[in-house]
Amino acid sequence: MSRFSLFRVEFSRLLRSPSCWLSTALTSLGLLGGFSYQGSTTMASMYLAQQLRSATLVGTVVFSIFTLYELSRVERNRTDAITDSIISPQRLASVRLLGILCASLLTTFLTAALYLPYAAWKLGGVFSLSDYLAGFLLFLLPALCFSALLSASCYQIVRRADVSFLAVLLFLILSRSDPFQNKFLWQWCLPMLPALSDDFSNVLVFRTAAYSRLVWLLFFLGLWLLSLLCVRRYGKGFLGSFLQGLRQGMLPALAVLLFSLGGILWTSQPFFDNSPVDWMAVQEIDHTQEGLSLLGTQVEIRAVSDWVGRMDGFATFQIQNTTGREQPLYFSLNTGYQVSRVIANGVDIPFEDLEDDLIKRRTLRCTLPAEERVALRVEYGGVPQLWNISQTMLSGDLVSREEVQLNGTAFSPVPDLLIAGDTIPFQAQITLRDNLTPVASGFPSQFLRNNGDGTATWLLQDRGVNSMTVFAADYVKVDINGGGMAIEFYYSQKHQQQMTELGAIDALEAAIRYCTEHYGMRAFPEDRPFKIIQTTEFLFGGFAKQNISVISEASFTANNLSNPEKGASGAEVLAHEIIHQWWGLGAQLMDPEDPYWTDEGITTYTTYRLMKKERGQDYADQHYLDIWERDIAHNQNNFYIRHPEYLGALREEYRVQLESETQSIMWYSGYARMFARAAELLGGDEALDQVLSHLYQNGGTEMPPYITQQDFLDASGLTKEDLGLA
């Protein structure tokens, strides 16, 4: 009987088996576990990533039990002597496993098909079919297959279903425990899935998942081939069967080959650098040399991604050497890049990679000639790597079809040179896919040409710098008039209709104008526009650098725009997020003695003041002040808040939920109401504005640059008792 005929019979039997359909049903129901987690920010994280995590973990356990149940069926029924006399035990083992693997494939497609309508409905305009399918094919399907392979391997070695299941379970727990849970290659069951983006690329999640899956596929196939040598035959035990199997030289040789390939891929993973574990203890060396200075930089790069995400380019540095002799030059570059040539004044010169990985960069060294003017050209390329400490976050530089992020040494080499003044030019030409619009630190990006091959070239410029930060995506650009500043706002095209319907641009202009008038202008180079950029969820918040300020896409999700704690409408919520450019990125509130003293309180209060100015006292009181007082009263009326001595009697999940609710109320309503109370005590809004403007522009004094609660009390002349904080 041919293998195909055997497989057809086995798979038909599985399709008639209740255990197969029970396993499929339980795996599909595992999706429901994802709805119990409330920490997601993007819609794709909330309605896809969490469900994939839950179904993958549940399916791994279920298919381990299913595999062991099916493989032990012959032994349980004591029919192994009969089947062994009809068909080779090794052939039967391979056919059984193939049938289970096909059942896992069927389970994956049925689960994906059942959940598809709901996911598409909840995600709406941000739904991506390619991301949806990639999630199931890279997370759920391999987990079921690996569970089957590992379970089958263990069973063929020990011939005990209970021991085999315990081995699989222990290996799963080990991979999810310290110190392995922060290592992406150790996650054989569930690869790193910190979030999923609605508006930008998820390719880094899928790249690392695919690579991890390939490594473990090689390991598990090698293990299964070795275990195949242990399949009992001729009435022999483990040792006799193994020695008999070794006579088939091809199987052990192939197993060793698979293990070797897996080991090579493990040690040469391309995604993360080799920064030392104790990176804070590393003493960085300043390699700048007297007599060497940077007069200008020209960069040309091509970031037209294939699936791997490679970029290539060269940088030319105009260097002045006034020493009259050869000088060593050090420059830093992303650890994922390789330098192919270094040319000084038209002559190739040797260079050395110091292999001193530290926070996704490494140092290279060359020797400059003694000429006074040196044009140094560095040709480089590769896939940008991330800092190895960020394996659980997958946050950092990226080149993909939908998005490009290149920052500092990931954009171009950064020489350790003194910059010869604030006017030296930094000029770059970047070639991207023609669906991407670049936004860079420095001056506005200029479109140069469409290359006619699906790519376009842009000119990026700055002055007085030796590096650049670049974001590129399907951005819509809006010029905002707010507070006398030149402001450019960039957001994803997926939100264009939403922004129009919300009247969001008017709200943003009003928020910027209000903050500028009442607190002061954001600090950035005056001859460059202030750029507010929507970026990926994988940046986990926002940041400000030079003349760019970043807002996470989480601010634009349907859930966030309907959050009543931040505003009464979607436009007001966006205004709240823009106000964070002043309170959160421009100035930060933090107090180690009060976890509720954060930027959220002052930002919520400022949103209230903005609405009071734009829509009147009655509107602001109804949609803000009244809600704060209701939330505070509700929290204070809680029995466990009034009697904290009983908190210990609560089950942990209820205690955590209560603490989370209290934190949210205090962050937003509690401290917003406190600032409103401070305005009343100081004699009006203008008096409080003077206090806040002083703190914004000068920062705190107790724990600079952070503004503590005591800093506010000192500046206002109020006490904790006055504000009800004692």
- Give 558-584 pLDDT, tens digit per residue: 666 666 665 656 667 778 878 887 888
Q: Domain 286-473: which CATH class?
A: mainly beta
* Range 350-355 average pLDDT: 93
Closest CA to 335 of 283, 416, 272, 389: 272
- Going by pLDDT thresholds of 50, 70 and 90, the confidence category of residue 544 is low
Structure tokens at 584: 């959160």
* Range 520-533 average pLDDT: 75
| Number of C-beta neighbours around residue 439 at 10 A | 23
Model confidence over 14-35: pLDDT tens digits?
Answer: 999 999 999 999 999 999 999 8
Query: At 20, is the secondary structure helix, strand, or coil?
Result: helix
| Number of C-beta neighbours around residue 366 at 10 A | 19
Closest CA to 346 of 313, 312, 373: 373
Q: What is the pLDDT of residue 550?
A: 79
The Cα–Cα gap between 642 and 675 comes to: 24
Closest CA to 11 of 129, 104, 77: 104
> By the 8 A CB rule, do 398 and 309 touch?
yes
What is the phi-psi region of residue 152: left when phi exceeds 0, alpha when psi lies from -120 to 50, beta otherwise? alpha
Tally the residues of the chain.
726
Task: Name the pTM for this structure.
Answer: 0.82
- Going by pLDDT thresholds of 50, 70 and 90, the confidence category of residue 235 is low
CA distances from 3 to 87, 92, 403 (A): 10, 9, 47
* Range 443-469 average pLDDT: 93
157 pLDDT above the threshold of 60: yes
CA distances from 364 to 329, 357, 359, 367 (A): 8, 11, 15, 11
Query: At 386, is the secondary structure helix, strand, or coil?
Result: strand
Q: Whole-angstrom distance between the N-terminal and C-terminal Cα of the chain? A: 84
Q: What is the pLDDT of residue 329?
A: 93
> Which element (helix H / strand E) includes 505?
helix 504-518
The Cα–Cα gap between 80 and 412 comes to: 65
- Going by pLDDT thresholds of 50, 70 and 90, the confidence category of residue 526 is low
What is the sign, positive or negative, of the torsion defined by CA atoms of 584, 589, 595, 601?
Answer: negative
Structure tokens at 214: 């390939």
> By the 8 A CB rule, do 131 and 44 touch?
yes
> By the 8 A CB rule, do 145 and 159 touch?
no
Helix orientation angle between 141-158 and 161-175, rounded to the nearest 10 degrees: 130
* Range 130-156 average pLDDT: 95
Q: What is the pLDDT of residue 81?
A: 54
**What is the DSSP pairing of strand 373-382 with strand 414-415?**
unpaired
Task: Pick the more confident residue, 320 or 545.
Answer: 320
DSSP string, 244-309: HHHT-THHHHHHHHHHHHHHHHHHT-SSB----TTGGG--------TTEEEEEEEEEEE----TT-
| Number of C-beta neighbours around residue 679 at 10 A | 19
> Which element (helix H / strand E) includes 477?
strand 475-482
Task: Pick the more confident residue, 629 or 39.
Answer: 629
> Which element (helix H / strand E) includes 616?
none
Closest CA to 538 of 523, 526, 550, 525: 550
| Number of C-beta neighbours around residue 649 at 10 A | 9
For the chain, give percent helix, strand, coil, nearest 5: 50, 20, 30
DSSP string, 513-550: HHHHHHT-PPPS-TTS-EEEEEE-GGG-S--EETTEEE
Query: Residue 345 corresponds to which amino acid?
Result: N
Model confidence over 478-510: pLDDT tens digits?
Answer: 888 766 677 888 988 888 877 777 777 888 888
The Cα–Cα gap between 535 and 553 comes to: 6
* φ, ψ of residue 465 in degrees (nearest 5): -135, 165
CA atoms within 13 A on the CB side of 275: 25
Domain positions in the chain: 3-210, 286-473, 587-723
Q: What is the pLDDT of residue 682?
A: 93
| Number of C-beta neighbours around residue 118 at 10 A | 12
430 pLDDT above the threshold of 80: yes
Structure tokens at 174: 């080990």
Structure tokens at 631: 């939330």
